[in-house]
Amino acid sequence: MGGADLFDEFPDLTRTADTLLGYPIRTLCLDDPDGRLDDTRYTQPALYVVNALSYYRKLRETGVVPDFVAGHSLGEFNALLAAEAFDFETGLRLVRRRGELMFRSGGGAMAAVLNASEKEVRAVLAEAGLDAVDLANFNTPSQIVISGRAEDLKAAQPLFQAGTHLFVPLKTSGAFHSRYMEQARVEFAGFLAETAISELRIPVVSNVTARPYENHQVRELMARQIVSAVRWSDTVEFLLGYAGMEFEEIGHGRVLANMVKKIRRELPDIGKNAAAAAANSEIHPYGKVSEKTPESPAGPAVDRPERSAGEKVRIWNERHPVGTRVCSTAGDYGQLETATEAIILFGHRPAVYVHGYRGYFDLDELKPVG
């Protein structure tokens, strides 16, 4: 999970976390000797601490307070921390309790369905009579996470492995963000009732509503989030409604930054200007969007002859088998490798799914290497 220098930079907060949790957070995050990071009781506190220290470092370095904050699932607690709804220790107590309760409601499973809209996913589940499966995360318009009993997700898997759909089981310890977390929601609501919550100093966009919290809603929405879908795509679309909005991911990795870029490309109603800005931007390690130079780190843009999407897909698959090493001409994404054959997304977009990015890239943005 990383964060070695963060623990050194914030020794007092690290000691606070160690005392509250009863184990060394540094050891868990950096070494995980007992293999606990797959257990949500440990995953949630670890993520919270690393995200919090990363935010404090950024604040110390820049002094810039964001105009809005948002987080994906557990990350929403860090967004609320940034908005000063509670202090570091109180937030960690909440996250520890949340993890314990969600673990006790475990036993289910989750999976990502790729290259399928919400409407398509609901239709497939309904036709198969799998009404006990919930839609848990709306990550992008074409990436939906489903959640439910393990046997129901096993039954759903072959249904989403036909045509252009992909089914990716997720390594989780429960059916999070689903009806199966109801008991956890009830108990967490009781815990929240005894926790002091301050008025928000920065607008926090809720996972549940994809709109900013109102102060009287904070406890209710924090509890409801456990059983509600994470409306991340709607959240990003809402924020893009503000002119000049830039996104910066704080914490470990670039998963959300990559999602933002995909959302900007996939949502048709964002408008041509937003789509053009997304196509001419790169996301830096913290997720900040900035204009790229005419020559990206991967080299100058390559002029390609005008071909239909079908022709581009056909030529790509003839020349480049699954497992081809590629680099992006749209930004510095490091080492990538194709995971599928090229397909046509949304009826017009030639694309291929790649490892190292965990999403689709337009064929026009990729260049084989090696």
Catalytic residues: 73, 177
Measuring CA to CA, which residue among 121, 80, 119, 122 is closest to residue 98? 80
Cα 362 from Cα 345, distance rounded (Å): 9
User: Which residues pair with residue 276 across a beta bridge?
Assistant: none
Written as one string, the DSSP assignment of 205-236 is: E-TTTSSBPPGGGHHHHHHHTTTS-B-HHHHH
351: left (phi over 0), alpha (psi -120 to 50) or beta: beta
Cα 222 from Cα 334, distance rounded (Å): 36
- Interaxial angle between packed helices 11-21 and 88-104, expressed in degrees from 0 to 180 and rounded to the nearest 10: 40
Cα 332 from Cα 346, distance rounded (Å): 26
Measuring CA to CA, which residue among 101, 355, 70, 344 is closest to residue 230? 70
The tokens for 202 are 């920065």
